[in-house]
Structure 1
Amino acid sequence: MSELAVWPVMAARTLRLTFRNLEALLITLLLPVMLMLLFVYLFGGAIETDAPEYVTYAVPGVLILCASYGASMTAVGVADDMSKGIIDRFRSMDIGGPALLSGHVTASALRNLGSITAVFAVAFLIGFRPSAGLPAWLGTVGVLLAFIVAISALSAAVGLLARSPEAASGFTFFVLFLPYPSSAFVPVDTMPDWLHGFARNQPATPVIETVRGLLLDQPVGTRPWTALAWCAGILAVSVALSGILFRRRTR
């Protein structure tokens, strides 16, 4: 059986497992919404930005936070598969590592699209009013999907590296932290000088600023290309690393 034929089957399997874990599913859906409400209503009045309303500034950051956390859960799913012996059963059916890992990444992308839709729905309810046209909306979805796929692929590699699902879950904290030292919730210029270099040149910042610029119909310059370059680089490294780790774990 070819890898392309098995890929959607593995993705459907991972989605079924996700829906069976209601606690994790609810956290994935509710955590970003709760954080958005927290920032907008508790901290928004004290944060100055160039946006007319803080919710307008914060939504792109919450979207990336949502995507980061949801994609990082792929590490737990892969580690769980590796620890339960299911891989040996798949290999006996001639199902290889690429199909299995691609299924996890695809399921992560579909799962995160649902989370992002929930964030947008709540954002509109509390006053988010983007001025993007159809091309900008398509560009926003494209950049978000590229980021989700890249972080999901990195998470899959971490899941292969971890020796247990509990160890893999630690990766979620790292990814969840990444958007904070960026332009997600406050302008980079308001941060301490020693943090500016990292905040401006880490993966989350160009993705956030691209999404913000597209949604608000503002000039984005070369930021989309920088964002996509980060995503492509993370994806390429993750795929190569996953191939090496899978062969080592299953030999």
Structure 2
Amino acid sequence: MSIKNTSKYIPYDAVVPLLLIDPEHADFPYFSGTGFFVHCPPSEEIFLVTSRHCIFDNNDKLRGDVTVFKEMNEGIIRLNFSHMLETKKENDQFFEDIIVFVVDREFLKKENIKYISSVEVFDHEVVDFLIDHIFKFQEKIRIVGYPSSCKEMTYSPNKVSADARGVVGKIEEYIKEDCIGVVSDLNWDSSDLHGFSGSPVIGLCPNQYSKDVEVIPLGVVVMGADSRFRFVSFNIVTNVILNFISSESGNC
């Protein structure tokens, strides 16, 4: 599946750096990984996806208030979230290393925000097929995030800057039963993987009915080490989102 000029399809606008604010030290926010926005038609909900360890410590305690700023309506808006969604494997006491936040729709209405750039969620079968295809033919896969080297924060005066970076690699291993994969052969400095946790793993697929290219979230980065990224299949995230949508529709 050859696609020219792939950089123009990378959803940089849907990917954000995460800031955490400890209520006891509110003047000193800090960066913690990457997140990205997705939507799941026909639902109008917008979801923020990231890796759970970006916001919870080893004692399962929330590190701080999750803060995301988006540039919109000719200004910078701090988004509010209405729900935090988690999941566990069946018969497992531990949470999956992903977490999903639901953007507060009432907040969006109040601020007159009609659009947030986000990536569409695809069916399980599409995700499985594309991962298998990319793995089998060793095609390129893409990861977009905010590495620590591209983020800077000063406190006097308060100033934050962050730049997203795209990384290309190949799937070295994928265990379908566990929904876990490894991306290696990266075109990125292996000593600079910190900060990519929570980043989307992206597959690009030409639409057979048009000239468009589908941008498909295939996974979420949960670890970067030894020149490799470890990711969780996006199907785990899709299950969480669909369960939420189903529960909300049942409450209407």
TM-score, normalising length: structure 1: 0.26
Higher relative contact order (CA 8 A, sep 6+): 1
TM-score (norm 2): 0.26
More helix as a share of residues = 1
